[in-house]
Amino acid sequence: MTQESAFRFVRARVATQHGPREASVTVRDGRIACLDGPAEEGCRDVDLAGAWLLPGAIDGHVHFDDPGFTHREDFASGSRAAAAGGVTTVVDMPCTSLPPVTDGASFDGKLAVVGPKAHVDFKFWGGARGNGFDRGELGRGLDELRARGVRSIKAYLISGMDTFTDVTPEQLGVVLEEAGRRGMRVGVHAEDRQGVLEGTKRERSGERAEEPAAYARARSVEAEVKGVATCVALAERTGAPLHVVHLACGEGVRLIREAKGRGVPITAETCPHYLAFTQEDLERLGGLLKTAPVVKRAVDREALWEGLADGTVDMIATDHAPGVYPEEKSTGSIWTDYGGVPGVELMLSYVLSEGVGKGRISLGRAVELLCSGPARVHALSRKGLLEPGADADVVVFDPSQTWTVRAAELFTRQKYTPWEGVRLTGRVRATYVRGMQVYDAERGVVGVPRGQLVAPC
C-alpha cells in the first residue's frame, strides 16, 4: 500500500442531496485537494466509468476484542473486514479489551498492541464502569483519556461483563457531569437493568425457556424504553451530550425525537440488524442473531427507518461483536449463546441496497448517516467528507452489482452472519485510506497495515 503524491478520480459520480452527479476528485498528499479541478502534470487519472465515489464510511461502534479476547476477533481481521466493506475509520469500544480502556495507561497499552495491525484508521472509546466507582478516579481517568484524543465515553445501564459492570442512573448522572465539562460525549447502553433482570428470571423459569422468543421477551420493548427515558432525563438535567447506542425500538425513536424538539443534547445510532430483522427472524436463526438489545417487531423496524429519514437518528453503526463460531453461537441454549454479530463488512452495502435502493432514504442522507454523522458524533473533523482538506478516505462503489452474502467469503475472523444468502444490490469495488488503496474487489485487502490513530484536530 503506497501513497501517490497526486492522482485524480475521473468520471466519478459523487453523492449530493439531489442524487449522484458526475465529478472529478483530485487527491494530493493523502487529502482531498479539489473537486472538478483541471488535469495536472504528473497527476494520474483513475477512470471510474460512472461508479459512485463516496466518503469512506465510519463505523462508530465496533468490538475488535484486542487485546484480551482475540479468539473472537482482533484488529487485523476486524480492520481487514472494515476495508473490504468500505469502512475507512472505526471507533473501538473500551469494554471488550483487557484491561478496559478507562485511563491513560490502559489506552497506551491497547494502542501499542493494535496500532501495528490496523488496515484502516481508528479511534478509541473510553469507558466509565461501575467497578469501584469513584468520582475522583473517574475524573482523573477522563483527563488522561481526553489528553490522548478520546471524546466518547461508554457506560452501561445493564452489563453482562465482570470487568466492565453497569452504572446506576445516579452514577450515570455523575459520568455525564464529569464528561460534559471536559467536552466529551457519553454513549449509553440503554436498557433498564431491573426490567431485564426481572424478565430474565420470569422467562427462564417458564415452560418454553430455551426458545429464542423467551430471550426476546426478557429484553422487552418496555425495558429498552425505560432505559432510553432515563437517558433523556439525565441529558436534560445535566445539559451534557448523551448518545444512545444501538437503538432498537420505535418508542425510543419517539422519545428521542421529542427530546430533540425540546433542545435536549441527545443523539442516537441504530444498527443494520435492527433495520433488517425482527423477532420472527430471531426465532428462526437463534444464536446467530442474538444481540442486546434484541431485535424487535416489524413496527419497530419501520419506525427506525423513519427516524433515520427524518433526522431523529443521527448515524448507523454496527456493534460488530462476533462470537467464536460455531462453539459460542450454538451452545444449545439461547441464554448461553454469545450475543453479537459481525457487521462492519456489510454495513455500507446493506444501507445503500436496502435503504437507498428501496427508497427509504436518499443517497445524500445515507452518506450523512454513514459518514458525516458519525464524524460529528465522534469529533473526527477530517473524516466523512468529500471536501477540500478532508482526508482522502474514499470508496469506489458499484451501485448496480447484485451479489449474495456468503459468510465463508467475509474477512471477519468468525465465518457466520444472519445475512447468509441475502441478495444485495451494490458492492464496494475499492477502498482508500488517506489516499492509499487498502482494498480491491479482485485482489482483496492490499498492502501492509498502515492505519493510524486519528488525532484530535
Angle at 349 between CA 343 and CA 353, to 5 degrees: 125
pTM for the whole structure: 0.97
- Bridge partners of 316, per DSSP, are 270
Per-residue pLDDT of the chain in tens (457 residues, 90 and over written 9): 456 789 999 999 999 888 899 999 999 999 999 999 998 888 999 999 999 999 999 999 999 999 999 999 999 999 999 999 999 999 999 999 999 999 999 999 999 999 999 999 999 999 999 999 999 999 999 999 999 999 999 999 999 999 999 999 999 999 999 999 999 999 999 999 999 999 999 999 988 888 999 999 999 999 999 999 999 999 999 999 999 999 999 999 999 999 999 999 999 999 999 999 999 999 999 999 999 999 999 999 999 999 999 999 999 999 999 999 999 999 999 999 999 999 999 999 999 999 999 999 999 999 999 999 999 999 999 999 999 999 999 999 999 999 999 999 999 999 999 999 999 999 999 999 999 999 999 999 999 999 999 987 6
How many Å from the N-terminal Cα to the C-terminal Cα in the chain?
25
Domains of the chain and CATH, by start = 56-377 (3.20.20.140)
**Residue 39 has what pLDDT?**
87
DSSP conformation class of 288: G
- Number of other CB atoms surrounding residue 33 within 10 Å: 19
**Residue 1 has what pLDDT?**
44
Output the furthest CA–CA distance in the chain (Å, rounded).
75
The three cell numbers of residue 335 are: 441464554
Question: In this structure, what are the phi and psi dihedrals at residue 237, rounded to the nearest 5 degrees?
Answer: -70, -45
Which residue shows C-alpha cell 492522482? Answer: 7
DSSP conformation class of 268: E
Cβ within 8 Å of residue 328, ≥6 positions away: 72, 337, 338
Residues belonging to the chain: 457
**Residue 308 has what pLDDT?**
98
CA 247 centroid distance within chain: 12
- For the chain, what is the radius of gyration of the CA atoms? 21
**Residue 206 has what pLDDT?**
86
Separation of alpha carbons 418 and 224, rounded Å = 23
Q: Which helix (H) or strand (E) holds 394?
A: strand 394-404
**Residue type at 306 in one-letter notation:** E
Which residue shows C-alpha cell 424504553? Answer: 225
| SS3 call for 131 | coil
**Residue type at 83 in one-letter notation:** A
